[in-house]
Copies of this chain bind each other. A is one copy, B any other.
Amino acid sequence: MNRSNHRPRLYPLVSVDIALFGSDEQGLKVLLARRAREPAVSQWALPGGVLRPLEDAQLVDAARRVLRDKLAVSVPQIEQIRVFSGADRDPRGWSIAVLFAALVPREQVNAVVKTQVQAVEWFSLQELPPMAFDHAEQLSAALTKLRTRVESYVLPLHLMPERFTLTDLQRTCEAILGRTLDKSVFRRRLKGSTDIIELDEYQGGAQRPARFYRAREGFDFTG
């Protein structure tokens, strides 16, 4: 029996979708899940789930529940991007999808795929598969927000490993923006930032050791 038949036409289907970004040596990636059931069965989609009003106190709690139960991932911040809605975007009828985005720390990028209960995979942004529903448009909205932040030098520190070099940080910003940045301009803009903390630890040999940095506790990427 199809449960959607029991949804009165006056009440839309409400769900959350999550654009999860991670970064590794190959650049920026997004986590997609292969849908296990109809509609759009076996198509790739942003991970998500239907709102459970008896369980979720707010929409963001539905997103956190999906991250926890379906993906076993924990993220420093989760942010609402925007709402997609309409009679035609989902064959089950009038629907509302609230899109959230989150950055996955470097250490967890591999772990997410291993602990998943759903078939999920990290995709490079250059090699995205066709996606279900309006998820390509959703992903594009989340990416635009991410890029706008990084353009104005809000640093994507939540994507980084616990300690990182400035070169590593620059590469991550470049992967997000899809273009190279001038090293001296980049370093100048970071001068005086209170969001990254210098460590007394170095990467590499005695020749040209690169200093490690870490993110300030409580750093806010979404603010």
Contact = CB atoms under 8 A, between A and B. Distances in A.
Of A8, A10, A52, A57, chain B has the most CB atoms within 10 Å of the CB of A10
Interface in A1-23: 7-12, 14
A53 B83 contact: no
Contacts of A98: 83, 85
A80 interface: yes
A51 interface: yes
Interface in A66-106: 80, 82-83, 85-88, 93-94, 96, 98
Nearest to A60: B85
A53 to B, nearest CB: 4
A58 interface: yes
Contacts of A80: 82-83
A54 interface: yes
A59 interface: yes
A82 to B, nearest CB: 6
A83 B54 contact: no
B9 A8 contact: no
Given A58-B85, A58-B86, A59-B85, A8 B10 contact: no
A143 to B, nearest CB: 16
Given A14-B96, A82-B82, 19 more contacts: A7-B11, A8-B11, A9-B53, A10-B53, A11-B14, A11-B53, A12-B14, A14-B14, A53-B93, A53-B94, A57-B86, A57-B87, A57-B88, A58-B86, A59-B83, A59-B85, A59-B96, A83-B83, A85-B98
20 contacts: A7-B11, A8-B11, A9-B54, A10-B52, A10-B53, A11-B53, A12-B51, A14-B14, A14-B96, A53-B87, A57-B86, A57-B87, A57-B88, A58-B85, A59-B83, A59-B86, A59-B96, A80-B82, A80-B83, A96-B96
